[in-house]
Structure 1
Amino acid sequence: MTVTIENQFLTAEFLEKGAELCHLVSKDSGFDYIWQADPQYWGRHAPVLFPFVGRLKDDQYQYEGKTYQMGQHGFARDCDFTVTAQTTNAVTFNLKDSPITRVNYPFAFSLDITYTLKDSQLTVAYHVANPAVKPLYFSIGGHPGFNVPMSAELSFEDYYLSYEPKKTRVQVPLAGPYSDLAHKTLAPTDTDLDLTHELFKNDAMIYELHHQNRFTLKSEKNYRAISLIVEDAPYVGIWSAYPKQAPYVCIEPWWGIADSVDSTGELTQKTGINRLNAGETFDRHYMIQVHQRRAF
């Protein structure tokens, strides 16, 4: 099942499975900015990462003396959400814990994802609530994939990634699927980055963030561009499948990160983990902005 919202500029479509954004189409041009999940490269559009971001060490973690199994990025992307509210330009999806989720994630939770269109921008808002007495530990993040190139006559290499603000950022390398926190470096994100597929030969480029950041995919040869704006995520991942020469780039705001290479596996000690005590809530959001004219 799919759900559609729209305004005068954009139409957005979502899958109830995973509450996943699957289309973001300009009414002006008919162009769809969201990657179309071709399984030859990557069979998803914009999955929600919950209750973990990235890979757990040995695909498992420990909590209160027990070991639990969990695959990369958690289970929410494969769960059926319920639509709890919808208007012409907004929709809210909800997922709650169940006997199935509690087998490998022993926590009560309520996750709301609200998508709202305003002008040429889609806001993605996460609301996590802890309805239980014991603490809730989780990570959450977005994984939207954007079509690159954005015009048939252009190539992947005609595009570049623009960072705002223009400043260096701490980059977290990966060792296999794990975060290598001991070998952080300063990345030259004070300049634009020309896209090549070889940028992703070591998997995602991961940056630590502070305050508001804007990441824009654009070309000097075409007016279409896409920005992701986030105010308070501690990390962002930039990724495209390699060596497949994949025609998309993901810009992923994360409130969490993959286990470190020296992780103990103890959930309460996991880098980037979020904790909610009884009755507490967690609210975060990011924006996707479509640029359909040269002035940006």
Structure 2
Amino acid sequence: MIFIENEHIKVSFAAKGAELQSILGTNSLTEYMWSGDANYWGKFSPVLFPIVGALKDNTYQFEDKSYQLSRHGFARDMEFEYHHINEQEILFTLTHSDETLKVYPFEFKLSLRYKLSGASLSCTYEVTNPAEKELLFSIGGHPAFAVPLNKQGTYTDYFLSFNNDIELTYYHIVDNLISDKKSVLKLDEGKLTLQHNLFYDDALVIKNLKSDSISILNTKNYNGLAFNFKDFPYFGIWAAKDADFVCLEPWCGIADGINHNQQLKDKEGIVTLAAKQEWKRTWQVTCF
């Protein structure tokens, strides 16, 4: 494993997918990340690139050609190069190749920069367009946090606390695509009690989240975390069926709608990056 650490937390990664796999409290030995139990879901925190979610028929059109990509794209399954900036910062990098160009006809450089500050870990997505033409992409996070922490209490002892929402309007997923059906979850003073059946029909997909901070808290003790994000226009909340975790997923991009025309340039949430430009977004988790 690859890791960075300070006096508060030790954070571990895999080079495959530049995937965050562990956030361990140095003194408390509290593990904040999901265990990766493959009986439920064998991942920890995949990066979603160059698409978020699924394409209609796993296919998109660009410049009169048809391409196929599986759900969430290819970056999570590829080996990243990495180097330690220092003991508390590490940079993972993936660039286009002959392999990626067959399914995604764009030159790119994708970097994930992880950095510690006290009991906080930040993850910055850095996308660079080295080409002379526009780069079209989506990107998102998918970190899975353990619930309950240290196996103390039950799933329903935990809740999500939103800093600026009183209700959540979410879109239903049908056959991996975003449907027109919406539902509303009323929050109790910004709080949503976690229940496994919330996710039996897949993720809660939110397009109009007002909050930029969501905390995972519980009714038994003070252990938890705060998840902060900014300038991600979409958000997903998900867990595998009956699994003891919850994913907090900030997205710049979204799965295709059921009526999408499959044209990449028309895809909802697609980011257009001009030639020779760079793009960044950051999320941060603070453990306590």
The offset of 1:185, in angstroms, is 4.7
Partner of 2:44 in structure 1?
45
The offset of 1:212, in angstroms, is 5.3
Could you tell me how far apart the structure 1 residues matched to 2:150 and 2:220 are? Answer: 9
Structure 1: unaligned runs, 5 residues or longer: 292-296
Partner of 1:262 in structure 2?
259
Structure 2: unaligned runs, 5 residues or longer: none
The offset of 1:75, in angstroms, is 0.4
1:61-140 paired onto structure 2 within 5 Å:
61-140=60-139
Report the count of equivalent residues: 287
Is the Cα–Cα contact under 8 Å of residues 58 and 71 in structure 2 kept in the other structure? yes
- State, as a whole percentage, how many aligned pairs show the same letter: 37
Amino acid at match of 2:7: Q
Partner of 1:280 in structure 2?
277
The offset of 1:16, in angstroms, is 0.7
Could you tell me how far apart the structure 2 residues matched to 1:226 and 1:175 are? Answer: 31
Amino acid at match of 2:276: G
Amino acid at match of 2:97: S
Partner of 1:253 in structure 2?
250
**Once structures 1 and 2 are overlaid, which stretch shifts more, 163-172 or 116-125?**
163-172
Is the Cα–Cα contact under 8 Å of residues 165 and 210 in structure 2 kept in the other structure? no
Is the Cα–Cα contact under 8 Å of residues 149 and 247 in structure 1 kept in the other structure? yes
Amino acid at match of 1:188: K
Could you tell me how far apart the structure 1 residues matched to 2:211 and 2:246 are? Answer: 21
Amino acid at match of 1:270: K
Partner of 2:186 in structure 1?
188
Is the Cα–Cα contact under 8 Å of residues 162 and 211 in structure 2 kept in the other structure? no
- Which of structure 1's runs of 4+ aligned residues deviate more than 4 A? 209-212
Distance change >3 Å, CA 108–CA 59, structure 1 → 2 = same
SS at match of 1:91: strand
Cα deviation digits, residues 153-207 of structure 1 (max 9, x gap): 4111111111111333442222231112x33455424531111111111110122
Could you tell me how far apart the structure 1 residues matched to 2:211 and 2:197 are? Answer: 28
Distance change >3 Å, CA 135–CA 237, structure 1 → 2 = same
Distance change >3 Å, CA 212–CA 200, structure 1 → 2 = closer
Q: State the TM-score, normalizing by the size of structure 2.
A: 0.96
